[in-house]
Structure 1
Amino acid sequence: MTPYSVLRDSLRFFRLHLAGIAQLCLPLLVLEALCSQLLLQQLGENANPGYALLISLLFYPLYTAALILYLDTRTHGKDIPKRDLFARALQLWPQMTLLILISSLLTMAGLALFIFPGVWIMINLVFAEFFLVLRGRPVVQAMRDSASMTTGHFMAILVCLLSVVAPLWLIDGLLLMAFPDPQPGVSLLIDSVGGFLQLLSTVVMYRFFMLREAQLAG
């Protein structure tokens, strides 16, 4: 198991299932971007960042849980209707929201102290969502299991994540230069497409999670 193989398999899966992932997640991503845009228009550019976090906590747990369930069902050759995936994701929303809130606060606290502690916390908790959604772990146990599974694989996970997010950061920077003051419609399009592309990081971490589970079971 190498970062290259994880990224290669993940990109192949993302490409093959692009339409299904878009149908599942893009509507919520557009709605999330629209709500953020409307909030920014109402409160101005100096709005408290906490409001953006609240909007993210409303939508992110739902489409992330649905995506994880979709990845798992398609990987195992199942074809469960998307409405059933959403129904299950909605049931998991309270636990996912709590997990993401705790993880975000811990990561931000680590970043405030120094960059490395925040990155270390983020990497240690990267599998917690999969343990909660797929293995039914409670929030705290999912975090513990994630920390245990990531032990010894910090750099491999970091390389995988950076390989996904670094190009997206570059694209965001180029778009910001090309559209320094975009119209609302353009801004909505950019935010929605950017959010959709970031889903690739979930696909990559799911692949890593499954390989680590198989490795530990063997």
Structure 2
Amino acid sequence: MNAFEVLRDSLFFFKRHLASIVQLCLPLVIVEALLQQVVDHASDPDSFSSVSVIVGLLVYPLYTAALILFLDARTRGEAPRTLDLLAMSARLWPRFALLTALNTLLILLGLSLYFLPGLILMVMLAFGEYLLVLRGLNPLHAMKESLWLSRGHFWRILLCILCVMTPLWLLKGATLAVYPEPQNPIVSVLIDSGHSFLQLFTSVVLFRLFMLISQLPEKRDGAV
């Protein structure tokens, strides 16, 4: 299970189903960017805004859960309707939002402790969303199961995340260099929406890893 093969397969899937992913996720991504723009203009730019975090918790679980359900359906050869996927993601929202809040809190706490603990937690908790959506686990159980599932695959998961996120971070930096703060609100929404949408490729890559790792004999036999 080579990391670069995972990336290649994920990129092929993302390109093949790009139109469907755009239709499913992009409207909510734009709504999230618009809400964040409103919050940013209403708050002190130099202070941490808890409202901004709440906006993410409101919208991110909806389009991410819908994307995970879409990935699972397409893997099984099914083609569910966009509205059905969004309806299912809405039902999952309370648990998914709680999981996102817990993950964010732990990772931010880890990052504050000289960065490395946060990076480790980000990798080890990477499969929690898939366990919650696809296996119906509660948030705490999903986090615990992700810690177990990622054991022995830390470097492979980290490499896949960095291979996706590093170009996106560089692209975001280059975009901010071309369009520095303060930005036109429309330009800001477009940049934030585009960046958030491209980050969805990380979910595709991690889904591919999750499927491969969870099917390994030692993982499958030990699954709860």
- Identify the TM-score tier after normalising by the shorter chain: over 0.9
Q: State the 4+ residue runs in structure 1 displaced beyond 3 angstroms.
A: none
The residue aligned with 2:196 is 195
Q: Is the 8 A contact 1:3 1:160 kept in 2?
A: yes
Range 13-22 or range 176-185, more displaced: 176-185
| TM-score of the superposed pair, with normalisation by structure 2 | 0.95
Whole-angstrom CA distance in 2 between matches of 1:86 and 1:211: 26
Task: Indicate the percent of aligned positions where both proteins have the same amino acid.
Answer: 45
User: For 1:28-39, what aligned pairs fall within 5 Å after superposition?
Assistant: 28-39=28-39
Q: Is the 8 A contact 2:43 2:49 kept in 1?
A: no
Q: Is the 8 A contact 2:21 2:67 kept in 1?
A: yes
Whole-angstrom CA distance in 1 between matches of 2:23 and 2:85: 12
1:169 aligns with 2:169: yes
Structure 1 segments unaligned to the other structure (5+ residues): none
Whole-angstrom CA distance in 1 between matches of 2:190 and 2:86: 24
AA aligned opposite 1:186 = V
User: For 1:9-48, what aligned pairs fall within 5 Å after superposition?
Assistant: 9-48=9-48
Q: Is the 8 A contact 2:36 2:52 kept in 1?
A: yes
RMSD, matched Cα: 1.1
Shift of 1:44: 3.7
The residue aligned with 1:109 is 109
The residue aligned with 1:148 is 148
The residue aligned with 1:58 is 58
Shift of 1:47: 4.3
Whole-angstrom CA distance in 2 between matches of 1:189 and 1:111: 28
Whole-angstrom CA distance in 2 between matches of 1:28 and 1:166: 24
Q: Is the 8 A contact 1:65 1:89 kept in 2?
A: yes
The residue aligned with 1:136 is 136
Secondary structure class of the residue paired with 1:31: helix
Structure 2 segments unaligned to the other structure (5+ residues): none
Whole-angstrom CA distance in 2 between matches of 1:125 and 1:40: 29
Q: Is the 8 A contact 1:40 1:47 kept in 2?
A: no
Q: Is the 8 A contact 1:36 1:52 kept in 2?
A: yes
